[in-house]
Amino acid sequence: MKLGVVYHMPFWHAPDGALFEIEGSFARYVDSLAPCFDEVSICAPSMQPPPAGGTRVRSQNVRLDALAPFEGPRQFYPRLASYSAAISRWASSLDVLHCRVPTPAALPAFVAARRRGIPIFLLVVGDLHASLPALPYRGVKRFAFAGYTALEECALAWMTRRALTFANGAALAVKHRRPGADVVETRTTTIAAADIASRSDTCNGPVVRLLTVSRIDPRKGLRCLPAAIAALGRDGIDAMLDIVGPPVGSPGLAEQAAIERHARELDVGDRVRLAGPVPLDRLLSRYSEYDVFVLPTMPGEGIPRVLLEAMAAGLPVVVTRVAGIPGLVTHGHNGYLIETPTAEAVAAAVTTVCRDGPLRRRLIQGGYQTARAHTLDTQAEQMMAIVGERLGLSLTCRVRAG
């Protein structure tokens, strides 16, 4: 049985033929599904020339059916006819289609598969409409993005009424549940059981090392972090912050420049480091170098997979109470929830976590418990059981080697 997966994260082949993905979370997700199918075909943009980093797809039955490179809707829609034709040809070879949405490539694939009677299931991982107020666009750009968002929302509503849908977190599940829609709540993850650490405490050194892993984007709330580091210093906490992740488009580049500028203006430029993207396979081992994980994100998330990565590494998590996050993070048990993505809220939460040892150790142990319940194999097993039952497919998932 051949599974087709469509999304917009770029893949490429190394000179030895190995398949890589730029970020890593999607590669691991595909690897988790691969044991349940004879073949998995990824329809995604290629990346040329190949970058030096990336995360390798380890399953031998996964191959890439490459699309011409595109970064987002601005590159995709002007060439919609050619992309749709390529996606339609690809879809005709499938037994099952899986769309990870939102992505502009999903609707052409969905329509092509539906015409051929191919079973389809979706995974909704984000909410464009909820993120719209946080974007810095003005004038024509804001109007254009609002139009694109409305188009994606309509397309997604149409697809979720016609296909089995998994939604990342309770907020997205509630949004997409409507008469005729088969929506199942899930929690996306990137961690394996072997990734779960065992350390019992952090914040034992003279410097508190904070970590944020996020794409740099106005929707992520990262601009408040330099002021949070400054506030911690005034409160007697010697803190340093690494922000790991790439800027997303021109808004991300502007956000990155603003973060760096604010850090210099607040005289914490030597304490806030934008480390750029780090491939997931190398990133997971680096979490253990830090003391506290912070993510002051805004609406538009499902449940950020980085929260489970931080929990698995034994990091107490400080994160905003938005979107589906309260469905994973329980305040005082496995994380510390803040109500607003502000410097004051972040600094106050980090101060509490650093100075309250029993609370910090409780958050770490609660995080381990949560991570153990949300490994990749567990997620794939649960999803594929539902896919097999509701789509009438006979799926026998092989035991993963290693």
Q: Same structural domain for residues 197 and 219?
A: yes
For residue 400, tell me if it sits in a domain: no
Residues 385 and 325 in one domain: no
Say if 401 falls within a structural domain: no
Question: Which domain, by its residues, includes 143?
Answer: 2-189+375-391
What pLDDT is recorded for position 137?
67
H/E element, 297: none
Give the pairing of strands 11-13 and 19-21. antiparallel
- Asked whether residue 242 falls in the same domain as residue 178, the answer is no
Q: Are residues 145 and 34 both part of a single domain? A: yes
The verdict on residue 245 lying in a domain is yes
Same domain, yes or no: 184 and 217? no
Asked whether 125 and 106 are in contact (CB, 8 A), the reply is no
Same domain, 63 and 172: yes
Q: d(Cα 9, Cα 17) in Å, to the nearest integer? A: 19
**Which residues touch 94 (CB under 8 Å, ≥6 apart)?**
2, 3, 4, 41, 113, 118
Write the CB contacts of 69 (distance below 8 Å, at least 6 apart in sequence): 10, 45, 46, 47, 48, 75
In a domain, 260, yes or no: yes
CB atoms under 10 Å from CB of 117, counted, come to 6
Tokens read off for 196: 């779960």
The verdict on 185 and 222 lying in the same domain is: no
H helix or E strand, kind and range, residue 133: none
Q: Is residue 341 one of the residues assigned to a domain?
A: yes
The answer for residues whose C-beta is within 8 angstroms of residue 194's C-beta and 6 or more apart is none
Coil, strand or helix at 3: strand
Report how far residue 277's alpha carbon sits from residue 279's, in angstroms, rounded to the nearest whole number: 7
What's the rounded Cα separation, in Å, for the pair 280 and 28?
Answer: 9
CATH code of the domain containing 325: 3.40.50.2000
User: Is the same domain home to 157 and 232?
Assistant: no
Going by the DSSP 8-state scheme, the letter that residue 69 receives in this structure is: P
Residue 396 lies in a domain: no
**Other beta carbons within 10 Å of 280:** 22
Cβ 306 vs Cβ 213: under 8 Å: yes
DSSP 401: P
DSSP annotation of 399: P
Do 74 and 120 lie in one domain? The reply is yes
Report yes or no on whether pTM surpasses 0.75: yes
If asked whether residues 207 and 291 sit together in one domain, one would say yes
Q: Report residue 349 as tokens.
A: 């939460």
Q: How far is the C-alpha of 332 from the C-alpha of 48, rounded, in Å?
A: 46
Angle at 294 between CA 293 and CA 296, to 5 degrees: 160
If one counts the domains in the chain, the total is 2
First to last CA, the chain: 23
- Residues 166 and 200 both lie in one domain: no
Q: CB 148: neighbour CB atoms within 10 A?
A: 18
Asked if residue 399 is part of any domain, the answer here is no
Taking the mean position of all CA atoms in its chain, how far away is CA 175?
Answer: 19
Is residue 249 within 8 Å of residue 145, measured between CB atoms?
no
* Residues paired with residue 101 on neighbouring β-strands, in sequence order: 124
Mean pLDDT by 10 residues, the chain (402 residues): 94 90 90 95 87 87 94 87 96 97 94 97 89 71 80 92 94 90 92 94 96 92 97 96 90 93 97 93 93 92 91 98 92 97 97 98 98 93 94 79 44
Please check whether residue 397 lies inside any domain of the structure.
no
The helix or strand, by DSSP H or E, that contains position 314, with its residue range, turns out to be: none
Residues 315 and 219 in one domain: yes
| C-alpha 314 chain-centroid distance | 20
- Minimal CA–CA distance to 327: which of 223, 175, 218, 114? 175
Q: Residue 312 in contact with residue 367, Cβ under 8 Å?
A: yes
